[in-house]
Amino acid sequence: MAATPLVLDAGAVLLGIVALWLGASRFVAGASDLAARVGVPPLVVGLTVVAIGTSAPEFAVTVGAALAGRTDISVANVVGSNVINLGIVLGGAAAVRAMPTPAALARRDGPVLVGATLLVAVLVADLQLGRLEGGLLAVLLLAYIGRLAVLGIARGPDLGVDTPVPEHRPAVDALWLLGGLVAIVVGAELLVDGAVGIAGAAGLSDWLVGETVVALGTSAPEIVASVAAIRQGRLDVSAGNVFGSCVVNLLGVLGVAATVRPLTLAPVAVEATVWLCVVTGLAVLLTVTRRTLSRTEGALLLAVGVVDWLVVAILG
């Protein structure tokens, strides 16, 4: 019996998620190795290359959806991804093992994340995100990353600048970088096309599919990285990585998408971004108090993330 269009769309979504995951991991590996060859401090690499690399699926999917005229998927993907990152990824990691958080998170990154979330909520209140607003978001991200890079380079002696240079040839790094980028683009195309097909066949809205299926798919790199961090016992940097990824999603991903094509949104966008503000505020508050995220607090965040995803998926 021939496969139905719904089965083909579901297959496209799964293939897209796998391509996004593999592409993001290869992109980050190649870019990090190239940076190490020219002596870029590891912290700077983590705050720029890794943060942007793990958000590459969101970039590709959100911009691709905007170009295809599926603007609800664009914003819903970012909103859903940030809820998943803060609730399921960060909360899940802390629920397994209490997570110490760097001091800089409380005085710098936490407030930036809260501010970026509130700004996006204000900008989408009129159900429009224009090119000028998108440009503002993108400029703010560049300023944030530039500030982090300057601070990282200034503290170079403390950052382990003597990171071993990879033994393989630079051409291998370039190949991983290019191959990862291609996989991300192809994966994004498959994921969006499959998700749109499922939405049409099942009578679901673009926002619902974007905030659930697409958001979970584009969050695959963060989920995989979190599992790896738990296995390696490297939880001290997990909160910073998640916060950084969320800031990139809000300022960079939405900023670029709106600059490429102005976004017109469904009314549900207002409610969803307000809820994102609540989740973000809770995550930042729990993370920066006592400079640790306990297992109980992690379990609370995890429950919030899972319940939110299920409520949106079931009730739409």
pLDDT digits (tens, 9 = 90+) for 175-215: 877 888 788 778 877 887 888 788 778 788 888 888 888 88
Please name every residue paired with 272 in a beta bridge, in sequence order, or none if there are none: none
Rounded distance between C-alpha atoms, residue 64 and residue 54, angstroms: 17
- 87 located within any domain: yes
- At which residue do the structure tokens 């969803």 appear? 272
pLDDT of 103-121, one tens digit each?
777 777 889 999 999 999 9
Per the domain annotation, does 40 fall within a domain?
A: yes
pLDDT of residue 205: 85
Structural domain range at position 239: 5-157+167-315
Question: What dihedral do alpha carbons 114, 118, 124, 125 form, nearest 10°?
Answer: 150
Residue 101 lies in a domain: yes
226: in domain: yes
Cβ atoms of 234 and 77 within 8 Å: the answer is: no
* pLDDT for res 229: 62
Residue 80 domain flag: yes
- How do the pLDDT tens digits run along the chain, 316 residues long? 345 777 888 888 888 888 877 877 777 677 767 666 766 655 555 556 666 776 778 888 888 888 888 888 889 999 999 999 999 988 988 888 888 877 777 777 889 999 999 999 999 999 999 999 999 999 999 998 888 767 665 555 444 444 555 666 777 777 877 888 788 778 877 887 888 788 778 788 888 888 888 888 888 777 766 666 666 665 555 677 788 889 999 999 999 999 999 999 989 999 999 999 999 999 999 988 877 889 999 999 999 999 998 888 776 6
Nearest to 261 by CA among 125, 70, 80, 121: 70
How long a stretch of residues is the chain?
316
For residue 209, being part of any structural domain is answered with: yes
How many structural domains compose the chain? 1
Beta bridge mates, 88:
none
Show the tokens assigned to 210: 């974007």
Task: Residue 20: give its domain's CATH number.
Answer: 1.20.1420.30
b/e burial code for range 289-314 (CB count within 10 A of at least 16 → b) = eeebbeeebbebbbebbeebbeebee
CA 25 to chain CA centroid, Å, is 13
What pLDDT shows up at residue 234?
Answer: 58
> What's the pTM value of the predicted model, to 2 decimals?
0.81
Contact (Cβ atoms closer than 8 angstroms) between residue 194 and residue 10: yes
Rounded-to-integer distance, Cα 39 and Cα 152, Å: 12
- Alpha helix (H) ranges present in the chain? 5-37, 42-45, 51-54, 56-67, 71-83, 91-96, 103-104, 110-123, 131-154, 170-202, 206-209, 215-218, 220-232, 238-247, 254-260, 268-288, 295-315
162 in a structural domain: no
Q: Which residues contact 238 (CB under 8 A, 6 or more apart)?
A: 90, 93, 99, 226, 229
Distance CA(97)–CA(67), nearest Å, equals 41
What are the tokens at 126?
A: 């009129």
The strand pair at 99-100 and 263-264 is best described as: unpaired
Residue 249, token pair as written in the block: 């999603």
Residues 6 or more apart whose Cβ sits within 8 Å of residue 196: 68, 70, 73, 206, 209
Find out whether 95 and 227 touch, Cβ atoms under 8 Å: no
Q: Is residue 290 part of a domain?
A: yes
